[in-house]
Structure formats: structure tokens, C-alpha cells
Structure 1
Amino acid sequence: MGGHGPADDARGRTRTPAPTPDRSAVDKGQVNKGSVLAVKIDNAPGARPQTGLDAADVVYAEQVEGGLSRLMAVYAGTLPKVVGPVRSARESDLELLRQFHDPLLAFSGAQHKLLPLIDDAPLQAEPPAKASDAYFRGTGKAAPHNLYLRPARLMKSAPGADALTTGFRYGAAPAGGKPANTRTVRYPAAGFTFTWSANLHRYLVAMDGTPTVTADGKRVTPATVVVQYVRMHKSAFHDILGNNTPYTETVGSGTAQVLRDGRVYDVDWERGKATDGTEFTTKDGKPVNFAKGQVWVVLAQAS
């Protein structure tokens, strides 16, 4: 373990709020029993392999500055001992997290102009400056890719599956679909590949052409993968190099592809308002069930 402090942005600097006394959310008694834990996870090559990614119920992949990628891992069923590396928040995260009741957001910091929006959002913001005893600096990676979280110091226990108000449905596979053993999604400077494993009955994740494993050597293997096509536009924020931060719209409607059981389904998605989950339906309007297990949602640019 090392010292604490603000982490850099995806391509530059970030800032955390002014330091406050070292008190975790548990100490302050602010954690609601039904609150999920969402953690912003670094996905730069220097941050890999990540820790605790395999324990997430849902992993969202999003595009950030310079066409790079970042992850948001959502935990409800299990809290791993350690998660990370933890990185900075984005404006799009606030809309995405509105689907959950009073979620905890663990992040390294944010641009100073974004901090008031985070403070006003209906979530429990827990950066290192607010709960430094929950974070530590690892020794295996160089800064800023070495900030880690101990979830148990933010939450006494996992809230359970009922806290996952994503709108996702689980059950038998829908009719139809096409056989598809692999699917690749590309951002301008990042890529995700999901390959079906009949033996594991899961998808093997690879990022930028390299198999995705955790720090303890476990393959990351979601049961369902969603490629959700969304609108992206420029936000009011930039990194230190002048790269604009894209804003990803997750409220609205569009098309998606759902991968499960080695098949791909062309579906529609709809999220009427920010406090709603996202509904996925077949072209004839029937709800689409996901396979039981971890879900990855890759937010991709709609054409």
C-alpha cells in the first residue's frame, strides 16, 4: 500500500473535492441497504489486469477522450475484497446511474467543473478525498493506474439482486437469433472481442486483442453481452490535451445486439426516462431474456 491522492484523467489531470475527515460511507451511516456499488475502472493498457472485475453483476463499457475506453462495474450480489484500478468519473455516468436507487459511486476524482454536477446528483459520491480509508495505492503498477478500493469499507454488505433495477430480464432464450461465435466492437482507440465458449457456456472477453483476465488469473466470462447503439455527442468537458469528452446518451431508444448461448439477436432498446431501467425487446415487441450471470453492456456509437 502507498499514499492516497487524486488520480489523473484518461489522458490528463483530474481533481478531487477538497479533503474531508477520513470517514467512510459506513462510518457516516449513509449507505442504504438497497444501494448498488458502482466503480469507475481504468481500462488503459497500463491498468490491466484489473482486480475484482469478474465479481461485477454488470459491466458497462464506455468511450472516453481520444477514443479510449473505460469501464463501470456495478456490484449487488457480491462485494469483492478489492476493486480497481479506480479512475475518474464522466458526465454520462450520472445519467446512467439514475436507474439505481441512491447508488454509491466510487471514483478517483473528476474535472473541477464536473464536481458540482456530481454533488447535485442523486447518488452517494465516494472519492478518495471523502473516504480515503477505503482506498490504497498498489505497488504493481505505475500511477495513475494503481488506485484500488476496498468495497467493505464503503458498504457493510452487498445489497442483493433486488438492487439491480436495470430493467434486465433473465430466463429462457428468445426464439430466433443467428449462430455467432465471436463479436468485436471497436472504438477509435480501443476494441472489445467476445468469443463464445461452449465448454464454459460463457463468453471469453478480450480487450485490444489481449485475453481479459483478473489480477489473480481468472478469465472474465460474462453470460450475456449487449452491444447497445446509442447517440454520442460532444460535452462541455475536455481533457488536458484538449480532447473532448463524449457524452453518451443512455435515455431514449435504439437498436442493440444481444449475445447469449452462442447466438446473436437483433433487438430494440428503450429507456423512457433516467429513473427507468432499459427494456430490450425483439422486433415483434416481446421482452428479451438474458442468461443468468454477468452482463456486459458495450455502449457503441449509433450510425
Structure 2
Amino acid sequence: VRAMDPQIVVPFGGIVVFSGGAPDNVALMEATDLVKVSENNAGSAFFREPSRSAPHNLYGRTAELFSRGGTPVPPVPQFSYVGVPDSNSTVPTATTTTVKSKSKSKSKKPLPTTTTTAPVPFTGEAVSQFHVNFASGYDVTYVWDPALGWKRFSQTSTPFLSATSPPVQISVTNVIVNFIPYGGGGGDGNMIGTGTSWIFSNGNLIKGTWTKANDADSTHYTDAAGAPIRITPGRTWVELLPLDKTVDVVAAPVPPTTVAAPVTTAPKAKKKK
């Protein structure tokens, strides 16, 4: 457990599962209202995978972990999503098109209409890939794939794969990079306050601002105009990057434009008289 972990997990509620930590940090977690399950009280809910090296071989049995505190209720939404209005927002989340029927009718009843609602997609700077410059050995690259989302690769360009057979490429719908302050000497980060956020979704990047008032508050994301940034519904990963680190972005190639050749008409030959 890290000292900053309560800032991350408290807004979600439910059960927090961890193994070990400095006594002061464990005390911070114990002080929360979450249901805590650690290696000391997990029993058979934790197990070691013998094919992997310790300490990276500790796994949990999800059903048993949930049984410690019951299946948690859905948490408060942590993000604003495309097509899903917030309760107090006036920002449009979708465009609506209404098409009236063209069929003729002698009846006085109004003609039927067809209404189609399309969510306003996440749109910003088009990006093909980006590299998050954590310390060497922890940096990571994401590559955009329209079919899969953001595919994750290690610093050696090795794809992150699932442990299933056959393995599949691990990918996510959204990646949010929050720039946050860390204590000296590799100390814990602080997510309380406000800072810069780079949000990657739908093959695009929007640079905005993150804000979080306290441990229990969700992190809020706004654009330059102060409006909520709406991401694409799906799996979202948040990277907490130190303020002195950078993100390298590769812009998406501009698709070639095709210009139709002008239509020319050959002059008609004059008939000889």
C-alpha cells in the first residue's frame, strides 16, 4: 500500500485488496470506510502462481474476495462519457436528426417521423501513438488501432499480451495521463488539487485540466473552456506521471486528399461548307 492509494480507491467504494505496505501507509488505508482484504486475512482468496517469480505471483480469487464484503454497488461514475449527459450539464452530448415521412396520406393524422440520435464523438488532435516517459524500465507506449483501441507496448516495443491461450493483445478504450507532484526521492504522489491532464480517446488527444478536492471526490476533467471532457465509453486507464516527465506524441498521418480532375469538353469541329 502506498500513501496515495486512498486518494485513488476511496471514490470507488466497495472492497480494496492489497498485500503489505509500510505501517503508516497501511494505517491510512485502514482508516477508510472500504472493506479491506489483505494477505493477512485473505485465506484461500489469495494464492501464489508457481510459474511466476515472487513477489509478482500473488493472485486473488474474485468470487471469494467479493464474498468478504458482498458484491459492491456500482460506484459513482468516475468520468463523463460521450452520449451520456451529466445531471447538471448543458453541454450537448449528441446530435439529433429528424426525418419526416415523404409518403402521401389522406388522413388528418400527422405523418410519422424517424429520429436518429448520434453521440458527439471524442475529437481533438489526431494521434497514431504516444510514449509515456516514466523512469527507464517503467515507460510505456500506446498505439492506436481503430478495431482494438489503444494497444499497450513495453519500453522494448514488446506487446502486452493476456495469459490466455491463445494470448491476445491487451488494449484499452481510453488512456488518461495526469501530471501530478511526487515527493522527493521517489516519494508518493499527490492527487489532491489541480493539474494538467492529457486525455487520449478515439485516436485523438485533448489537453485539459484535472481537479480533485479530497480523497472521496472523483477526479474531474475539463477542457480549456471549462467544459467536461467526455471520453468514449469503455475501459479506461489513468497514468499518474511526475511533473518533470514528458509524453511523446506521434501525430496521425494526414490522409491524402483526392482532387477530381476538371471536366473538359473538346471543342466541336466546324463543318466545312
Q: Structure 2 length normalisation: TM-score? A: 0.68
Q: Tell me the residue number matched to 1:224.
A: 174
Of residues 244, 247, 266 in structure 1, which corresponds to 2:188? Answer: 247
Deviation at 1:135, TM superposition (A): 0.7
Percent of matched pairs sharing the same residue: 24
Range moving further from structure 2, 259-268 or 213-222: 213-222
Q: What are the equivalent positions in structure 2 for 1:1-303 lying under 5 Å apart?
A: 89-101=1-13, 103-156=14-67, 159=72, 162-163=74-75, 165=76, 167-171=78-82, 172=119, 177-189=124-136, 190-200=138-148, 202-209=149-156, 210-216=158-164, 217-234=167-184, 244-303=185-244
The 3 A distance-change label for structure 1 pair 251 and 113 is closer
Instruction: Return the index of the structure with the highest Cα Rg.
Output: 2
**Higher RCO, 1 vs 2 (CA within 8 Å, ≥6 residues apart):** 1
* Number of residue-to-residue matches in the alignment: 202
- Match of 1:227, SS state, is strand
Q: Distance in 1 between matches of 2:228 and 2:23?
A: 41
Contact 1:252 1:272 in 2 (8 A): yes
Kindly state the Cα deviation for residue 207 of structure 1 after the two structures are TM-superposed: 2.3
CA separation in 2, counterparts of 1:219 and 1:178? 25
Q: Structure 1: which amino acid aligns with 2:152? A: V
Contact 2:122–2:232 under 8 Å retained in 1: no
Deviation at 1:222, TM superposition (A): 0.7
Which runs of no fewer than 5 residues in structure 1 stay unpaired? 1-88, 235-243
1:182-228 per-residue CA deviation (whole Å, 9 max, x = no partner) reads 0111112311111100233x110112232111211122211011011
- In 1, are the aligned partners of 2:5 and 2:29 still within 8 Å (CA)? no
Q: Secondary structure at the match of 1:212?
A: coil
- The aligned amino acid for 1:183 is F
Unmatched 5+ residue regions in structure 2? 83-118, 245-273
- Aligned partners of 1:166 and 1:278 also within 8 Å: no
RMSD: 2.0
Q: In the TM superposition, what whole-angstrom CA distance separates every residue of 1:45-84 from its partner, at most 9, and x where no partner exists?
A: xxxxxxxxxxxxxxxxxxxxxxxxxxxxxxxxxxxxxxxx
C-alpha distance in structure 1 between counterparts of 2:23 and 2:211, whole Å: 32
